[in-house]
Chains A and B, each alone.
Chain A
């Protein structure tokens, strides 16, 4: 048994990497997977607050790397689930406190005891990004249906391929069906065609995500929100299940979109 290391990255900041990491961690753990979410954003950590675990941190990733504690001591267990852990980033250090080899070593040590290691990458394409990608078996790119986010995603996709970590798969986050319907937002087909990459999930804009961030309880804990359902679908796809997307060609776009949104609801479990 050996965990798969999945790195979540984006290029642009603020597109939802940390939200995606937290929710996939929760969704996978709810499905019986043993999961460690790893915050690789040294100096700007946030995965802890997204998961509501900020008060339970004793040691962090840099403490582990610099030998101040054992790896197990730094893992914060999420008591709401059987097997969900957080390996927090250091908050008072910067990216230079970590090297790519450190990330590879830490992940290798965790591999045998878990099913998934989800690495939350910092924004950008510098050292922090490289550290996060170094241990990855696969990479998920998060983007929003906006010009700047798609452009940065394209850049990162190129870098991932150059590193031999491709092909990455895409998560389109914060899609607003109403705007798409009016033609005022890039639709799924446009984004996929532009980026020439496989899709693993679409997450609709959903205000419960904001409420979840306020309380530190990711939406994936409940399956009654559109975003929560989308995260569970992505988790199932990560676990190798065939979860169909709505048919992509025949019916009109509107019909397709509504059908897709409905199926997102029904296919959950």
Chain B
């Protein structure tokens, strides 16, 4: 019903739900000791290293921290710039 409300009125979710979402992220970062700032640093350095060897699209690079049931992971999504060459191989 909350969802319906939101779709119909385009309202913000209730603040309790916002609190829950914010906490989910904050706790994940606190527990991993990986702050959003550190993620930015990692991203910049990954871009620098990879692009020395392979042409990539720096704008599209995403480095995220995810919490899993058994293992937490850093995921780097690095789009390459030339698709054609990859296909030719």
Pick from A183, A184, A185, A194: contact of B23, CB below 8 A: A194
Pick from A158, A179, A182: contact of B31, CB below 8 A: A158
In the bound assembly, the distance between CA atoms of A190 and B22 in angstroms comes to 12
Q: Is the CB of A151 within 8 A of B14?
A: no
Q: Is the CB of A147 within 8 A of B16?
A: no
Q: Residue of A at shortest CB range from B17?
A: A183
Q: What is the interface of chain B mostly: helix, strand, loop, or mixed?
A: helix
Identify which of B16, B22, B30 gathers the most chain A CB atoms within 10 Å of its CB. Answer: B16
B residues within 8 A CB of A147?
19, 22-23, 26
Q: Which of A165-206 contact B (CB under 8 A)?
A: 179-180, 182-187, 190, 194
Given contacts A147-B22, A150-B23, A194-B23, contact A187 B16 (CB under 8 A): yes
A residues within 8 A CB of B15?
183-185
* Minimum C-beta distance from A147 to chain B (A): 5
Given contacts A158-B31, A183-B2, contact A151 B23 (CB under 8 A): yes
A residues within 8 A CB of B20?
186, 190, 194
* Minimum C-beta distance from B72 to chain A (A): 13
A residues within 8 A CB of B4?
none
How does the 8 Å CB contact mask read for B1-42 relative to A, with 1 for contact and 0 for none? Answer: 010000000000111110110111011001100000000000
Q: Residue of B at shortest CB range from A193?
A: B20
Interface residue A78 (Cβ < 8 Å from any Cβ of B): no
A residues within 8 A CB of B17?
183
30 A-B Cβ contacts within 8 A?
A146-B19, A147-B19, A147-B22, A147-B23, A147-B26, A150-B23, A151-B23, A151-B26, A151-B30, A154-B30, A154-B31, A155-B30, A180-B16, A182-B14, A183-B2, A183-B13, A183-B14, A183-B16, A184-B15, A184-B16, A185-B15, A185-B19, A186-B20, A187-B16, A190-B16, A190-B19, A190-B20, A194-B20, A194-B23, A194-B27
Q: Using CB atoms and an 8 Å cutoff, list the residues of chain A in contact with chain B.
A: 146-147, 150-151, 154-155, 158, 179-180, 182-187, 190, 194
Q: Using CB atoms and an 8 Å cutoff, list the residues of chain B in contact with chain A.
A: 2, 13-17, 19-20, 22-24, 26-27, 30-31
A-B residue pairs, 3 tightest by C-beta:
A183-B14, A190-B20, A183-B16
